[in-house]
Amino acid sequence: MFKKVCLIIFVLFTGKMFSQPNEQNDHSLLFFGHAELSFFSPNAKVEESLPIRQNVSYQTVYYQKPQLTVSSSGISSSLKFEIFNPGYRIALQTGLKYIAYNTSVTGTMTDNTDYFFVRYSIENQEVKFARVKEIKENNHYLAIPIDLRYYFFSRKRYGFYVKVNTDIGLSISHELNILFHDPNMNTSKNEVLEVIKSDYDKFYTTITGAVGIRYNYIHKICLNGELIFPSTFMGNNYFMLTEANHVFGIRISAQMPINFNNNKKKNE
């Protein structure tokens, strides 16, 4: 990961050597506000320690991995303030970000079923299983983003840039829910959830890299679109149901100049 970060930083600061001439020849600072929305997907796989079983024998209890399907997605929204130096084509952004992850685990025992087994009790040589159709996990974070953006190619109407971002935040809510094959099992819901629950990191940090495009004159309201490269979770334990080390996705934002009269430049 360290090598990847170094490579991004190298491209960020040396790419200027090969860029086109600046569209502005001074170093006066410009200020912008951003409203941003991101969609992303972790590379999630089922946590190995979950007490999930494919089948049950009345004589013995044996372990086989069921046919599990993991669905994991995330969304974030943020408001950011940007300081931009047009002479160096470098911008620094920060603000406040809300992040939500939704994870679902479903599975089958055989081709004719829509559930799998979760072992939830072992007492006096008696093993209890629940037939489960789906387990859901929802994680919510509030974070402070710090972004560094560099335009390696810029024209009056559009510009291309690379961005390095880190999010530093805390968990504000966590939900775990389960859907049983037999609704009568709802009376044992808390007991089953207790064996699934595990510790997770409440302190949230990521490092992401992205490439993006800005459309419209910089002194007007602009639209930005970004492709988020497969990027790194700094922690290893953000989820109870899954293991995930990387995340990728897309990001869109609207960029508005602050103090419009000072930011305004001629189009021609």
User: Which residue matches tokens 């992401």?
Assistant: 208
Give all domains of the chain, ordered by start, each with its CATH number. 2-227+248-263 (2.40.160.20)
Q: What is the distance, to the nearest Å, from the Cα of residue 252 to the centroid of all Cα atoms in its chain? A: 14
Above 60 in pLDDT, residue 232? yes
Burial class for 231, CB neighbours closer than 10 Å (0-12, 13-18, 19+):
buried
pLDDT at 142 (0 to 100):
97
Angstrom distances, CA of residue 4 to CA of 11, 27, 237, 249: 11, 30, 22, 18
Above 70 in pLDDT, residue 75? yes
Q: What is the mean pLDDT of the chain?
A: 82
Distance CA 14, CA 11 (A): 5
Q: What is the pLDDT of residues 241-256, one digit of tens each?
A: 888 888 899 999 999 9
DSSP string, 170-227: EEEEEEEEEEESSGGGGGGHHHHHHHH------EEEEEEEEEEEEES-TTS-EEEEEE
User: Which residue matches tokens 């159709």?
Assistant: 133
Question: In the predicted model, what is the mean pLDDT of residues 166-176?
Answer: 94
Above 50 in pLDDT, residue 61? no
Distance CA 196, CA 52 (A): 9
Percent of the chain with pLDDT over 70: 80
Highest mean pLDDT among 15-29, 170-184, 233-247: 170-184
pTM, to two decimals? 0.80
Cβ atoms within 10 Å, residue 98 = 15
Above 50 in pLDDT, residue 60? no
Distance CA 250, CA 12 (A): 20
Asked whether 161 and 147 are in contact (CB, 8 A), the reply is no
More confident residue, 123 or 262: 123
**4: three-class secondary structure by DSSP:** helix
pLDDT at 25 (0 to 100):
53
CB within 8 A of 76, min separation 6: which ones?
36, 37, 38, 40, 97, 98, 99, 100
